[in-house]
Each structure stands twice: as C-alpha cells, then as structure tokens.
Structure 1
Amino acid sequence: MKTEIKNKTKKYITILLGAFLVLFVFRCIYGYTHKETSPLFHTNENITSIISNARKNYATKKHEIISANSGSPQTRIDQKYEKIAEIHSSTSNYDTDEKSIRSEISKYKALIQYEHKSGNSGYRNLNFSIGVPPENFDAIYQSLIKIGMVSAKQITKTDKTNEYKELNAKKLSLEKIRTALLELKAKGGRIEEFIQLENRILEIDQQLQDLGVSLGNFDDENEFCTVQISLKEGKEIKKDSLIIIKEALEWTIETYIKLMVALTFLSLLAYLLTLTILKLKQNK
C-alpha cells in the first residue's frame, strides 16, 4: 500500500515538474526569438498619434436595395465614409524602412498629403499622412505593418453620409437665399439697402465657397482613405542570456502558480458538485 502511494506521489510530482519545465522552456524560446518594440528604443520624442494638418479624405460605398418581389435592384444608396488607419512603428534601420514606406506608397498609387521629419541621426522621427485609393487600403495597410517593429495599430471607419447630406442641404438653402437677394437687388431702392444687400450676398458667396471646398472632399474623383504612419528611430538593446532566463523563470513561476490555483479551484468545485449529486440521489 505504501509502495503504491509512493509511486503515485512520484508520478504526480514528475507531471508537475514536467509541466513547469515545459512552460520554462517555452518562455526561454520566446525570449530568444521575440523582438521587443518601443521599450527597447531610446528616443527623444513621442509618437504623433494624430496628424491634424492633413486634409480629410472620404470615400463612397454603393449599396443596392433589392426588391423582394422582382429580385432586381430598385434603389441605390451611396454611403460616404471616412476610413483611417494609424500605425506606430520603431526601427533601428531607419533609412531602409523609410525607403520601404515610400516604395509601398508608390506601389499602391497613394499620395503623401502630409510629411514631417525631425530629430538628429540615431533619434529621427518620420510622420506621414497618406491618401490611399479605397481599393488599395487593405493591401497597403498589410504591407506597412510589416515595416519596422509595430508598437500600435488601429483602423477607424466613420459614416459621413448624414454630414454629406447636411452640407448639400445647406448649400441648396444658401443658393435659394442668394437668388432671392439678387432679385431684391434688381428692384432697386435706397443706397443703404443696396449696400446691406450687397454685403449679405458677399457673405453668402463666402459661405458657398467654403461649402464647395468641404463638398469637394466628397467628390468621386477625390476619393481616398487615410493611412497615418509614424516611424521612430533608435538603437536596439539586445538582452543577454541571464536576463532572458531570469524573465523566463519569473514568468514561469507566476504562470505556474496561477494554473495550480485554477486547477485546485476546479477540482474543489468538481468535488462539491459530485457530493451534491450523490446526496440528491440518496434523498430520492
């Protein structure tokens, strides 16, 4: 009986030690192969999160409503939207990666709408805002996140259909007011009234001009999505073996304890559940 207990104890200890070693070896391999990003780079500037100087880009997605009776398209709805990708990267090969970014921009027929470079050699920063044809957005995004070491990335899509409709409605309203004012002006009157009408017409013309610029961003020929990319330069700090082993051991102990606690809790829960079921059967 004692021998059997000893054998079982040895078996459980071996399993537990084996699980610990597997976790430790896995974390060591990860430490040697994984490349860290921004924490390993000494830089003197923060990454620009949003490039506000760049123009707004909008695109259109066409939706067709199919008739339930005929099965053919009855109505077409044009959705206006703004789609922005933000990529924050670090690199120790600044010149090479800058050339790669410019190459991808040219490859996917994109436009550099804003560019800002700063910093001395070894601590340089590069910020781009790129206008990308909607059909090339996903492809250029996937290409750019492979350049350097990405520390953060996100894509945001915002519907702008209502804003577009409101701008058109405002334009139509201003055009009607302008036409009415021109008709009043043609009827003549006192010089003071004439000057007031002229000033009001000039104000409306300015508003229409501003609306024209805003609506121009929605034109089909100007359709783009936006990719904002920031690239920071720095010297990569490589960890030595002792640091990697130390971090691996700390991570393994912490993870192992969590796993043991979770397994103990599940075992206790299963035991209590079994007792409850047995009592219920006895009561029957």
Structure 2
Amino acid sequence: MNTKEKHNFKKITLLLIAGFIALFIVRFIYSYNEKETPIQFNNQLISETIWDVRKNYASKKHEVFSNTSAVPQTRIDQKYEKIAKISSGTADFIADEKLIRNQIKNYKALIQYENKSGNTGNRNLNFSIGVPPENFDTMYQSLIKIGVVSAKQITKTDKTNEYKELNAKKLSLEKIRTALVELKAKGGRIDEFMQLENRILEIEQQLQDLGVSLGNFDDENEFCTVQFTLSEGKKIDTPIITKILSALEWTLETYIKIMAALTFLALFAYLVSITINKLKTS
C-alpha cells in the first residue's frame, strides 16, 4: 500500500469513526432528555361492579330523507350509552388530582362515583364522571394528557331498543293495573279482594322501578360516562451508565445497518456501471 492509499484509508476511517461518534451523541442526548415514566406501585385491579353506580344515556336525532325530497320524512331518536375508560399513572398525585377536578368543573361534568385509597406514595383515585354529550370528546382529549396513560378506550352502545322495550313494558303494566282496579271496584270475596290488592301493589312497584330506569333516558339527565383511574408512582432514576450503554447498543445496531445499506448500494452501482460499459463496448 503506497502513501496515497494509506492517506485515503486513514481519511475514510476517520470519517467512519466521526459518523459513529456523531450518531452516538445524537442518540445519547435524545435518551438523556427523554421523558421519564412513573412506576405504578399500586396498580390495583378495579372491579367492574364499582362503576355500576348510575347508568348514563344520551340521545341523538337522525333525520331520514327520501331520494326525491329535501324535507326529512322521518326522525329517529337514537338512545345510546358512551363510556370512556382511562387508566393513568403519575408522580405528582396531588397536582394531577387537582387538574382532574378542574377539568370536571370546566366541562360542567358531575362526579357520580369517587374512591380514594392508599397512603402517600402509593395512592389510587377512581372517578366515574357524568359528562354532557357535547363536552365528551373535548374532555376526553384533556384527560388523556394527565399523567402517563397506560390504557384508554371508548365504547358506544346503542340503547334504542332497550328504551322502546321499557316503554312498551310500562304501557302494558299500566293497562293491567287499570283492569285490576276496575275489577276490584266490582266487589267480591275478601280473599279475592286481598289478592287483587296485592297484585296491584306488585304492579305499582314494577312501574316505579321502570320509572327509575326510564328516568335515566330523560333528555334533562343526558350524560356520557368517563371512568378515570389515577395511580401514584415515582419517576425512574436511570443511572447515567445505563443510558450510555443503551445509546451505544442502539448506535452499533443502527450503524451496522447503515453500513450494510451503503455497501449494498455501492455494489449495485458498481454492477450497473459494469453492465453499461459492456453494452457500450458491444
């Protein structure tokens, strides 16, 4: 190897080393400034039954148009249940709890269930929140920015048929009650009278229960639901040597891939060049 070749080899080697070092520095700076995630020490399992405090329903009116008319032919009143579930962890429990309560106030929502447990450093907070349907989406987007979210989902279920069935059952019971009241007015034996009275009382109780269920569907009680769980943890203090080793591992893997890609491209360009020269010669 002559002096010029040695000089070129040395130059290329220094460029490759400089590229490796530059890539390592970029990765290390990124990992050093990367947001720390909390360790959720008290990630307790939440029973689904604790959320069954109140059923929230909302409605949406759909207008159905015909092909020949711009005037809606029918209006469909859809009843639905919409539930968002959010699980989040935080290292600043007090500040994030305050933030959640402020969001509830800002979006005119209601706390329908609240449970707070655990000691400092290991606390859990569970909220079931009734949210006006028009504020649901914006409130959901605000809440998923609190802490570090580990799970989230939104479920929307149509309840129109259930609402119709409840109304039909109410109408049927009212007819039976009216018939029994009329029958009782005709008189009869004491034991028959008592049986009719007991049956009327049973129907009255069923109608009251139906009234409560149907009351959840009333327009003035329309809400969507947000079930929010906040768990307290602490930030991971990753040692600097761990970050260096992690950055070095990533740099080696990435650099090898880059070199392999460049080698493949160079070889491909070389083969193309040879083929073109042969074609010109022929």
CA gap of 1:68–1:191, structure 2 versus 1, over 3 A, is same
In the alignment, the residues of structure 2 paired with residue 66 and residue 166 of structure 1 have an alpha-carbon distance, to the nearest angstrom, of 26
SS at match of 1:177: helix
SS at match of 1:184: helix
How far 1:258 moved relative to its partner? Answer: 9.4
| Residue 104 of structure 1: aligned partner | 103
How far 1:31 moved relative to its partner? Answer: 2.9
In the alignment, the residues of structure 1 paired with residue 176 and residue 254 of structure 2 have an alpha-carbon distance, to the nearest angstrom, of 71
Indicate conservation of the 8 Å contact 1:47/1:88, yes or no. no
How far 1:220 moved relative to its partner? Answer: 0.1
| Residue 69 of structure 1: aligned partner | 68
How far 1:67 moved relative to its partner? Answer: 2.1
Indicate conservation of the 8 Å contact 1:81/1:157, yes or no. yes
Indicate conservation of the 8 Å contact 2:36/2:236, yes or no. no
In the alignment, the residues of structure 2 paired with residue 189 and residue 253 of structure 1 have an alpha-carbon distance, to the nearest angstrom, of 97
In the alignment, the residues of structure 1 paired with residue 45 and residue 258 of structure 2 have an alpha-carbon distance, to the nearest angstrom, of 37
How far 1:36 moved relative to its partner? Answer: 4.7
Indicate conservation of the 8 Å contact 1:53/1:114, yes or no. no
| Residue 127 of structure 1: aligned partner | 126
SS at match of 1:218: coil
Indicate conservation of the 8 Å contact 1:28/1:244, yes or no. yes
Percent of aligned positions that are identical: 70
CA gap of 1:47–1:259, structure 2 versus 1, over 3 A, is farther
In the alignment, the residues of structure 1 paired with residue 253 and residue 155 of structure 2 have an alpha-carbon distance, to the nearest angstrom, of 36
CA gap of 1:196–1:255, structure 2 versus 1, over 3 A, is farther
How far 1:244 moved relative to its partner? Answer: 2.3
Indicate conservation of the 8 Å contact 2:51/2:128, yes or no. no
1:158-197 aligned at under 5 Å gives the runs 158-197=157-196
Letter in structure 1 aligned against 2:33: T
Structure whose alpha-carbon radius of gyration is higher: 2
CA gap of 1:148–1:199, structure 2 versus 1, over 3 A, is same
In the alignment, the residues of structure 2 paired with residue 256 and residue 168 of structure 1 have an alpha-carbon distance, to the nearest angstrom, of 69
1:6-85 aligned at under 5 Å gives the runs 28-38=28-38, 40-41=39-40, 43-46=41-44, 48=46, 50=48, 51-85=50-84
Letter in structure 2 aligned against 1:153: K
Indicate conservation of the 8 Å contact 1:37/1:151, yes or no. no
Q: Which runs of 5+ in 2 are unaligned?
A: 1-7, 266-282
CA gap of 1:159–1:46, structure 2 versus 1, over 3 A, is same
**1:252-272 CA distance string (max 9 Å, x none):** 6678899999x8xxx9xxxxx
Q: Normalising by the residue count of structure 1, what TM-score does the alignment of the two structures yield?
A: 0.78
Q: Normalising by the residue count of structure 2, what TM-score does the alignment of the two structures yield?
A: 0.78
Segment of structure 1 superposing worse, 67-76 or 211-220: 67-76
In the alignment, the residues of structure 2 paired with residue 115 and residue 184 of structure 1 have an alpha-carbon distance, to the nearest angstrom, of 49
| Residue 210 of structure 2: aligned partner | 211
CA gap of 1:225–1:52, structure 2 versus 1, over 3 A, is same
CA gap of 1:206–1:252, structure 2 versus 1, over 3 A, is farther
CA gap of 1:189–1:26, structure 2 versus 1, over 3 A, is farther
How far 1:35 moved relative to its partner? Answer: 2.8
1:226-265 aligned at under 5 Å gives the runs 226-250=225-249
**1:202-225 CA distance string (max 9 Å, x none):** 111111111110110000000000
Segment of structure 1 superposing worse, 125-134 or 181-190: 181-190
Give the superposed CA RMSD: 3.4
Q: Which runs of 5+ in 1 are unaligned?
A: 1-6, 268-284
In the alignment, the residues of structure 1 paired with residue 213 and residue 26 of structure 2 have an alpha-carbon distance, to the nearest angstrom, of 55
In the alignment, the residues of structure 2 paired with residue 49 and residue 248 of structure 1 have an alpha-carbon distance, to the nearest angstrom, of 41
**1:59-83 CA distance string (max 9 Å, x none):** 0011000122121111110111111
Letter in structure 1 aligned against 2:158: D
Indicate conservation of the 8 Å contact 2:63/2:73, yes or no. yes
SS at match of 1:206: helix
In the alignment, the residues of structure 1 paired with residue 78 and residue 156 of structure 2 have an alpha-carbon distance, to the nearest angstrom, of 12
In the alignment, the residues of structure 2 paired with residue 165 and residue 96 of structure 1 have an alpha-carbon distance, to the nearest angstrom, of 45
In the alignment, the residues of structure 1 paired with residue 188 and residue 255 of structure 2 have an alpha-carbon distance, to the nearest angstrom, of 91
Indicate conservation of the 8 Å contact 2:58/2:219, yes or no. yes
